[in-house]
């Protein structure tokens, strides 16, 4: 039992928040030695609710694969109380004020609360359709093309690769069998219907751009890739198209929710900033710089920080 609790506490000790509390506790002890004991706020109460105890037990279950015994749970609850006491004392001493990690986590928590509230609404079908109509390009299916290619390898042919590809192109357009031309490789000779992004992942950006700019039914090329020169023929072209809501309702819903989260967070920050008189005292090197980036960075002076 004791070894299980020790192992659990060792895992907890790796958490940054535990490090923060340890530093706070040390500073609290030093403060007590210098300024004398502090009795703390009279009547302040720490309540460990049944739900919190259950949460502690579930955390133990997730880490160890079993529920804690009564003694193990008591040790964990005692540790939670010590953590809560340390946290409250650290807040009372103002140790959270200049801690970047604590400030960032508290900001994230309030943002999560705001975002979750905005995302809790269920959009109607009309709202989702309006969202799709307002952002058609985000959900449009891209053009796909199927093609065949014959590779003339740069590694095998060297400086002659371009001339060999041009000869292969002439032969193919004269009726030659593609299977008897080109060099063997791990690249697919036949490419099924694929987006330009997918073709780019296989053959490179330049090859994909040329393949998706081509028209006609004949072999064309040579088309360069990192592997050499290719002769290519289009087999099928499937134009890009708009998609009805029924086919992508889940995607539209997710995008709508994400937009609501972002809008709620931005509106919250804008509203909260109005409650404060914000003054920024820029250090000397930055005082004369514009507030928006220069489109030509080479003309903008670089701040020089003091030695």
pLDDT on residue 37: 43
* Local confidence band at 28 (pLDDT 50, 70, 90 cut-offs): low
Percent of the chain's residues with pLDDT above 70: 78
pLDDT on residue 41: 47
Region of residue 301 (phi > 0: left; psi between -120 and 50: alpha; otherwise: beta) = beta
Which residues have a Cβ under 8 Å from the Cβ of 283 and sit 6 or more positions away? 303, 305
pLDDT on residue 107: 83
What is 141-238's CATH number, 3.40.50.2300, 3.10.50.40, 3.60.10.10, 3.60.21.10? Answer: 3.10.50.40
Top-confidence residue, 158 or 47: 158
Mean pLDDT, to the nearest integer, of 117-126?
A: 84
pLDDT on residue 40: 46
Residue in the structure block whose two tokens are 């929710």: 257
pLDDT on residue 295: 58
Listed residue (172, 225, 221) closest to 199, CA to CA = 225
Taking the C-alpha atoms of residue 263 and residue 63, their distance in angstroms, rounded to an integer, is: 37
pLDDT on residue 87: 78
* Local confidence band at 4 (pLDDT 50, 70, 90 cut-offs): low
pLDDT on residue 34: 42
pLDDT tens, residue by residue, 156-179:
999 999 999 999 999 999 999 998
pLDDT on residue 144: 97
pLDDT on residue 291: 60
Domain residue spans in the chain?
A: 2-36+47-98, 126-137+242-265, 141-238
Listed residue (205, 187, 188) closest to 196, CA to CA = 205
Taking the C-alpha atoms of residue 303 and residue 282, their distance in angstroms, rounded to an integer, is: 12
* Local confidence band at 11 (pLDDT 50, 70, 90 cut-offs): low
- Please say if the pLDDT value at position 183 is more than 90: yes
Average pLDDT, the chain: 82
Least confident of 33-37, 83-87, 261-265, 297-301: 33-37
Do 161 and 228 touch, CB atoms closer than 8 A? yes
Listed residue (147, 157, 260) closest to 212, CA to CA = 147
Q: By CB neighbour count within 10 A (0-12 exposed, 13-18 middle, 19+ buried), where does 180 fall?
A: exposed
Longest Cα–Cα distance of the chain, Å, equals 99
- Please say if the pLDDT value at position 32 is more than 90: no
Letter string b/e over residues 160-178, b meaning 16 or more CB atoms within 10 A of that residue's CB: ebeebbeebbebbeeeeeb
pLDDT tens, residue by residue, 144-159:
999 999 999 999 999 9
Angle at 95 between CA 94 and CA 100, to 5 degrees: 120
């Amino acid at each position: 039992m004791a070894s299980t609790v020790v192992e659990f506490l060792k895992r907890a000790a790796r958490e940054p928040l535990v490090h923060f509390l340890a530093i706070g506790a040390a500073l609290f002890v030093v403060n007590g030695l210098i300024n004398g004991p502090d009795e703390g706020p009279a009547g302040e109460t720490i309540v460990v609710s049944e739900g919190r105890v259950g949460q502690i037990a579930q955390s133990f279950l997730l880490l160890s694969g079993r529920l804690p015994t009564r003694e193990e749970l008591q040790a964990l609850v005692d540790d939670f109380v010590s953590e809560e006491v340390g946290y409250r004392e650290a807040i009372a001493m103002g140790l959270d004020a200049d801690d970047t990690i604590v400030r960032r986590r508290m900001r994230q928590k309030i943002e999560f609360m705001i975002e979750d509230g905005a995302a809790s609404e269920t959009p109607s079908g009309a709202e989702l359709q309006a969202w799709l109509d307002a952002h058609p390009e985000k959900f449009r299916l891209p053009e796909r093309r199927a093609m065949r290619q014959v590779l003339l390898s740069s590694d095998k042919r060297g400086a002659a690769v371009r001339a060999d590809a041009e000869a292969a192109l002439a032969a193919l357009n004269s009726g030659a069998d593609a299977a008897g031309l080109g060099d063997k490789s791990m690249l697919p000779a036949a490419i099924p219907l694929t987006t330009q992004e997918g073709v780019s992942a296989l053959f490179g950006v330049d090859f994909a751009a040329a393949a998706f700019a081509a028209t006609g039914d004949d072999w064309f090329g040579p088309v360069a890739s990192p592997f050499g020169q290719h002769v290519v023929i289009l087999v099928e072209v499937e134009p890009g198209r708009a998609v009805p809501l029924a086919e992508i309702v889940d995607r539209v819903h997710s995008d709508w929710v994400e937009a609501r989260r972002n809008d709620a967070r931005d509106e919250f920050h804008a509203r909260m900033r109005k409650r404060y008189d914000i003054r920024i005292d820029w250090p000397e090197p930055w005082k004369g710089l514009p507030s928006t980036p220069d489109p030509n960075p080479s003309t903008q002076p670089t701040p020089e920080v003091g030695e």
